[in-house]
């Protein structure tokens, strides 16, 4: 039997249609680009999260001369939230990118590893984690449930044989 998955997201030409909170978290992500430690790729990625207690945390990619150890901005900020507020739900995450080489106008989506961690976060907190993506300028994508970026992701059910 052929089955189909439907993936829903919003796309806007600017931030005008975003709510105040969405705009604020995106602004914090853009401010966090300066935290990027990316001497090897020259590609800055920053992410900010809004927590259910009203706090906003941000982080950026954190590279290493041993390349596979590079940490993505998304997982840096999710780890920071887990360290500071382990039991507080994460409502939304904004992600932005900037490159030394060329101006970025296309929103960059989280890599596969980050999608896996976003999915786990949603399952842990039993609440959707909204993603807001915009490059330096250009289109804005809003993905209401970040885990939907990873259909058939590996999860605790698999470990339990469910």
Tally the residues of the chain.
162
149 scored as a contact of ligand THU (CB under 6 A) = no
> Of 28, 63, 74, 130, which is the active-site residue?
74
Report strand pairing: 90-99 vs 130-133: parallel
Binding residue for ligand THU (CB under 6 A) from 58, 61, 121, 134? 61
Distance CA 88, CA 154 (A): 23
What's the min distance (Å) between Cβ of 136 and ligand THU? 15
User: What is residue 101's DSSP assignment?
Assistant: S
Binding residue for ligand THU (CB under 6 A) from 81, 90, 114, 129? 114
121 scored as a contact of ligand THU (CB under 6 A) = no
Distance CA 47, CA 97 (A): 9
Of 53 and 105, the one with the shorter C-beta distance to ligand THU is 105
């Amino acid at each position: 039997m052929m089955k189909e998955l439907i993936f829903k997201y919003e796309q806007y030409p600017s931030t005008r249609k975003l709510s105040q909170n969405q705009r604020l978290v995106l602004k914090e992500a853009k401010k966090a680009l300066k935290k990027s430690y990316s001497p090897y790729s020259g590609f800055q990625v920053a992410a900010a999260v809004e927590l259910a207690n009203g706090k906003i945390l941000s982080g950026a990619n954190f590279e290493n001369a041993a390349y596979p150890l590079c940490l993505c901005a998304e997982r840096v900020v999710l780890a920071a939230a887990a360290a500071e507020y382990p039991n507080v739900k994460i409502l939304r995450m904004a992600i932005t990118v900037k490159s030394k080489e060329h101006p970025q106008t296309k929103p960059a989506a989280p890599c596969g590893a980050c999608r896996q961690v976003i999915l786990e976060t949603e399952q842990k907190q039993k609440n959707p984690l909204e993603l807001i993506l915009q490059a330096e300028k250009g289109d804005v994508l809003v993905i209401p449930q970040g885990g939907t970026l990873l259909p058939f992701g590996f999860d605790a059910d698999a470990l339990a044989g469910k």
